[in-house]
Amino acid sequence: MAAMGKHPFLLVVLLPSISLSELCLQSAEIDALVRMECERIRVVLEQSSKWQCQARCAVDAWGKLRSGLQERQSREGGQVRHARTLQLPLCNFVFSLVMYCTRCLEQQ
């Protein structure tokens, strides 16, 4: 059988019951099957390429969202720290203002 791969004409000699037209028909059927499988594989590869592209886009979007969120949290953290540093002086100012107004009202 190994010799048949090297010399395809031996197949015709070894299988005299199969006519040449039957061999051509079988060859055409095999060609059709191979073409159909190649087309199916091409479609699967195109689909997986689309999925890969969508996955990359999702990863990129997630990374941008995450870095934006971290940047915002950092900015807000700075604003909170700044507000805390202003809180005590502001409270002192309000207290002083209330005391001043109270004294002004008492004097009237």
Q: What is the pLDDT of residue 93?
A: 78
Q: What is the pLDDT of residue 8?
A: 56
Q: What is the pLDDT of residue 39?
A: 95
Enter the DSSP assignment of 33. H
Q: What is the pLDDT of residue 5?
A: 54
Residues 6+ apart with CB under 8 A from 10: 3, 4
- CA–CA gap between residue 27 and residue 80 (Å, rounded): 78
pLDDT in tens, the chain (108 residues): 444 456 555 555 555 566 778 878 888 999 999 999 999 999 999 998 888 888 888 888 888 888 888 888 787 777 777 777 777 777 777 777 788 888 887 776
- CA–CA gap between residue 88 and residue 98 (Å, rounded): 15
Q: What is the pLDDT of residue 31?
A: 92
Q: Is the dihedral of CA 27, 28, 33, 36 positive or negative?
A: positive
